[in-house]
Structure 1
Amino acid sequence: MMAPSSTSTKSSKPIIIFVIGGPGSGKGTICERLKTKYGFTHLSTGDLLRDEVASGSELGKELNQIMQSGKLVSNQHVLNLLKRSIEKNLSKSKGFLIDGYPREINQAIEFEKQIAPCSLVLYFHCSDTVMMERLINRGKTSGRVDDNVETIKKRLQIFHSNSDPILEYLKPKLAKIDGEKSIESVLESVELVIAKLMHV
């Protein structure tokens, strides 16, 4: 039997799930479904940055200047935004899906150091061929200029070189999901992993 105090300490730690997958791996769609099913908060770093800029705050103005000049927003800025969102939603959320972060190994290390340990890493694995096909098709329907073959190749290259060390570092918490299957099959695989994590 565990002492009540240790149980309550354990349950007060937020469930943090890093969602990692290349462009076109389908992770955004799955995040939306998980958010609805489990009462998770879906935090996309891109959305957080855009929302802060749109708010017109002092920080938003600073971030806008950085992005307008084509520079990358510092990791500390992104961490602060994530931390603030997690704290704001802590009491009403069952857990957090961190989408599009970490993109580099030092971001994973700093997140765990400054915010909370990651509970699980969902890695949506797809071959480059499949991701490329999906992105080209998406480009045809959406008219997105960044979905041409050369750009896609570069994006995939950057994704692999950045994410491989992260996946190695977080290996004990890693759940590799076959992202090439249908949305329903992928969802089923993810739900099995989450059920274990939440002991449901």
Structure 2
Amino acid sequence: MILNTIKEGKIVPSEVTVKLILREMKSSDNRKFLIDGFPRSEENRIAFEKIIGAEPRFVLFFDCPEEEMVKRVLSRNEGRVDDNIDTMRNRLKVFEALNLPVIDYYAKKGKLYRINAVGTADEIFKQVRPVFEACELEAK
């Protein structure tokens, strides 16, 4: 069903995605999880919190200027058909429309950590490490 949905260019329903995440979480021996790129919309967020029965402890938002994102995508040389300037600009508009309400929601709840995503991977990770360390201290 998921493959057919994707092939048709449609979005997999949030409930299906969240149930897959939950299944993986339950099958793991870990009690802490880093979920990359989800939730991407208010619908995703609501489904996640309803099905999982909890909110994330914190949310990382890697804040990167549009020019930098376009430069990175166009130089990654992966041969993807959607790696072009027009598609990138459209994807960024979709991002703003869908993701910013989620980011604002978690910011208002004091759960959002905004990371300056310009620089080397090591420079960016130096900003992330203290967030994880602080959350580890809170859990004790």
Please confirm whether the aligned pair reaches a TM-score higher than 0.5, indicating the same fold: yes
**Which of the numbers 145, 155, 158 marks the counterpart of 2:81?**
145
Query: Are 1:101 and 2:38 matched, yes or no?
Result: yes
**Which of the numbers 118, 123, 126 marks the counterpart of 1:180?**
118
Deviations for 1:43-101, whole angstroms, at most 9, x for unmatched residues? xxxxxxxxxxxxxxxxxxx2222222222211111111011011111xx2252111121
| 1:188-199 equivalences in 2 (<5 Å) | 188-199=126-137
Higher strand proportion? 1
Which of 1 and 2 has higher RCO (CA within 8 Å, sep 6+)?
1
TM-score norm. by structure 1 comes to 0.64
| 1:21-100 equivalences in 2 (<5 Å) | 62-89=1-28, 92-100=29-37
Separation in 1, partners of 2:89, 2:33: 30
How far residue 125 of structure 1 moved from its aligned partner, in angstroms, is 0.3
**Which of the numbers 64, 86, 90 marks the counterpart of 1:154?**
90
Separation in 2, partners of 1:137, 1:73: 29
Structure 1 runs (4+) greater than 4 angstroms displaced: none
**Which of the numbers 156, 159, 164 marks the counterpart of 2:100?**
164
Give the CA RMSD over aligned residues: 1.4
Contact in 1 for aligned 2:19/2:51 (Cα 8 Å): no
The count of aligned residue pairs is: 135
> Larger C-alpha radius of gyration, 1 or 2?
1
**Where does structure 1 lack aligned partners over 5 or more consecutive residues?**
1-61
Separation in 2, partners of 1:117, 1:126: 25
**Where does structure 2 lack aligned partners over 5 or more consecutive residues?**
none
